[in-house]
Amino acid sequence: MMSLPITSIFAAVFAVALVGLSGWVSLRRAAVKATIGDAGDGILRNRIRAQGNFIEYVPLALVCLALVEGGGASAGTMWMLGGALVVGRTLHATGMFGNSIPLRVMGMVLTYATLLSAAGRLTLSALGL
């Protein structure tokens, strides 16, 4: 079995982060008595979107990280890619909770950079370059 220790650490970090984001949604749902949707509550809507955005990007990013690590990337490369993703997702969620467009933008730029960097490495590796 292939060992992916660095990706495993990041997967664990993101699992805890997802529970945290989901908890924020659940707490707000209880506070505004919304079982489905956002009940017109802007705070709940932002929390739902922060959680949804996380779910939209993190799984594919983790798959890419695992493939890059499995392909023999250095530990430094892995920590850089995974760290950029953690910072990006943290900035984005913080921006969503605080209505800060600059934080959201910085978070998405780091998320995109991570995905594109990993995709580039995977493509070059697949082409034998």
Task: Find the mean pLDDT for residues 75-96.
Answer: 97
Give pLDDT, residue 129.
82
With a cut of 80, say whether residue 95 has pLDDT above it. Answer: yes
With a cut of 80, say whether residue 18 has pLDDT above it. Answer: yes
Give pLDDT, residue 115.
98
Distance CA 5, CA 60 (A): 18
pTM of the model: 0.92
Going from N- to C-terminal start, the domains of the chain cover 5-126
pLDDT, the chain, mean: 96
CATH of region 5-126, choose from 1.10.3720.10, 2.130.10.10, 3.90.1150.10, 1.20.120.550: 1.20.120.550
- Contact (CB, 8 A) for 122 and 64: yes
Task: Find the mean pLDDT for residues 64-87.
Answer: 97
